[in-house]
Amino acid sequence: MQVPPQANTNPNAKSNPRILILGAGVAGITAARTLYRNGHHNFLVIEARDEIGGRLRSHTFGNGTTIELGANWVQGTQVGDGPSNPIWDLARKHNARTVFNDYSSITTYDGSGLVNYTNVVDDAADNLDKISRLAGKRVADNLVDLNAREGYSLVGAKPQSSHDKVAEYFNFDWEYGDTPSATSLAAAGLVRVSQGTFSDEARLSIDQRGFKVIITAEAKEFLRPSQLLLSSTVRTIGYARSGVRVTLANGTLIFGDYVLCTFSLGVLQNDDVRFEPELPDWKMEAIQSVTMTTYTKVFLQFSRKFCWDFMPTRKEDAILHGAASPSTHRIFLLTLDSPKGQYSERIEALPDQQVQSEVMGVLHSMFPKTDIPPPSDFFFPRWHSDPLYRGSYSNWPASFTREHHDNLRASIGCGKRKRLWFAGEATSLRYFGTFSFLMLSVIY
Ligand SMILES: Cc1cc2nc3c(=O)[nH]c(=O)nc-3n(C[C@H](O)[C@H](O)[C@H](O)COP(=O)(O)OP(=O)(O)OC[C@H]3O[C@@H](n4cnc5c(N)ncnc54)[C@H](O)[C@@H]3O)c2cc1C
Ligand SMILES: *[C@@H]1O[C@H](CO)[C@@H](O)[C@H](O)[C@H]1NC(C)=O
Ligand SMILES: *[C@@H]1O[C@H](CO)[C@@H](O)[C@H](O)[C@H]1NC(C)=O
Ligand SMILES: *[C@@H]1O[C@H](CO)[C@@H](O)[C@H](O)[C@H]1NC(C)=O
């Protein structure tokens, strides 16, 4: 594409270039804040949805409880005056209400109901530590990457029984959003080391303003209404020597000097947004060589407690988890015999009613002697089929290299200037993705 001459009409392009920031998620708003803090106010944030937040997204459920469809945890806080997780800084600054989450306190079930195999879960946690150490050593020795399944085998972890497999799933798949065989051993080790930099603590947001408050409140401090364009879907991103040009779905053209794209990896992998000219091969290869996973939370509300009474432990529990006030207990149920892989994609294609009855089937097998009331509310987000996300977050397969990663982040030059820039979850070397895959969050 040739950007028409209008693009060049900014007389201040040299001293005060105009920057288009695409996406008002955490990355887009943080980028705007960085510009603002550096005294640069000539930017415009363009967002398809009618609110700021992106994958920080809440939903009013049941009798008015706010639930989180996307990110819900602050993964790591701070130890003493050590490094602090910037998400934790935002949560503290804006008084987001969070509770401590103890994953080591869990109650285990299998197809026959309540069965205690927490020792197997502990062993699986040790095995994850072992492969992380192995990963670190192999990276230091400059050895070729393996997948995490091969890593497990090398440290002698070969899950045989269904309990072994569930325990590994809880430790690994739930964290990386993918199976060990589909995940890079090196990257799996890197994520664990990175998360531990802040602290091992995970805190769950139960803020009724929604977890997104950490970024909406932050934006209020500096972003002027004229610097934010909501309900504006980007269709094409044009870049040329003379400047950049973004086309919205309604045909409006927006010109600038630089463009920063923070759309999810899933959006970049699909054809929802077109680049003009097409992205170079090295960029396309980097984009297509990372995996966009989907982690689906399924929410049910019940009019009365039915399983709590059967649980040996009540609070701070990963499968049974009590949060804050008695009316917002959340139970995280890991389906013990769920079909692996593509689960989210499969259920997204089904009608709600069918998903609900599958989930109820899992509950009936966990609580075989219990009369379970029908849920009074039911909801789950379809992240995979949403054209603004196309999944939940990124994961590295074993074939992914550091060069790919550098290329994923790299900006694209046009003549002397780098006009097209990239940011967002997938472009972070140490903090890409997060954790979790299939979770049933039961709320009453
Ligand atoms: C289910 C789920 C659970 C998660 N759990 C956690 C967690 O517990 N802890 C944690 O730390 N992280 C978690 N994450 C990851 C975290 O949410 C993301 O890493 C983070 O929010 C990504 O921010 P971002 O700004 O990079 O991308 P996004 O939030 O995706 O921002 C990109 C923005 O671009 C917009 N956009 C996309 N396409 C277009 C278009 N064509 N035109 C205009 N606008 C467009 C989108 O609407 C979006 O607002 C989770 C994510 C999901 C989905
Ligand atoms: C399960 O067994 C472990 C020992 O393997 C024990 O420490 C724990 O208390 C038991 N948990 C429950 C809920 O009984
Ligand atoms: C198209 O969208 C933009 C941004 O949302 C808006 O300013 C403009 O008025 C819209 N144009 C038309 C023709 O609807
Ligand atoms: C929801 O509210 C209605 C009316 O306020 C009440 O009758 C009902 O029991 C509540 N349901 C739950 C699950 O709390």
Instruction: Kindly state the average pLDDT of the residues 17-29.
Output: 96
Cα 118 to ligand 2 centre (Å): 6
**Is residue 268 within 8 Å of residue 291, measured between CB atoms?**
no
β-pairing, 58-61 vs 98-101, is: unpaired
Instruction: Kindly state the average pLDDT of the residues 140-150.
Output: 93
Assign 246 to helix, strand or coil: strand
Cα 54 to ligand 1 centre (Å): 5
- Per-residue pLDDT of 247-280, as tens digits, reads 999 999 999 999 999 999 999 999 899 999 999 9
Best of 65, 302, 303, 304 to mutate for ligand 4, by most ligand atoms within 8 A of CB?
Answer: 303
Q: d(Cα 295, Cα 438) in Å, to the nearest integer?
A: 5
63 lines ligand 4 (CB under 6 A): yes
Closest residue (by CA) to atom 5 of ligand 3? 232
292-48-388 Cα angle (round to 5):
15
Instruction: Kindly state the average pLDDT of the residues 322-334.
Output: 36
First to last CA, the chain: 54
Q: Note the ligand closest to the C-alpha atom of 312.
A: 2
Q: Domains in the chain, ordered, with CATH?
A: 5-57+209-290+389-427 (3.50.50.60)
pLDDT bin (cut points 50, 70, 90) of residue 442 is: very low
Fill in the amino acid letter for 49.
Answer: R
* pLDDT tops 70 at residue 1: no
Assign 27 to helix, strand or coil: helix
- Encoded tokens for 205: 């947001």
- Per-residue pLDDT of 392-418, as tens digits, reads 999 889 888 889 989 999 999 888 899
Percent of the chain topping pLDDT 70: 82
Closest residue (by CA) to atom 12 of ligand 4? 303
**In this predicted structure, what is the pLDDT of residue 334?**
44
**In this predicted structure, what is the pLDDT of residue 11?**
60
* pLDDT tops 60 at residue 6: no
Q: d(Cα 301, Cα 64) in Å, to the nearest integer?
A: 11
CA atoms lying within 13 Å on the CB side of residue 51: 13
pLDDT bin (cut points 50, 70, 90) of residue 357 is: confident
More confident call, 177 vs 226: 226
Q: What is the total residue count of the chain?
A: 444
Q: d(Cα 364, Cα 358) in Å, to the nearest integer?
A: 10
**Is residue 257 within 8 Å of residue 296, measured between CB atoms?**
no
48 lines ligand 1 (CB under 6 A): yes
Nearest residue to 257 (alpha-carbon basis) of 3, 13, 47: 13
Q: d(Cα 86, Cα 74) in Å, to the nearest integer?
A: 10
* 332 contact partners, CB below 8 Å, separation of at least 6: 318, 319, 321, 439, 440, 441
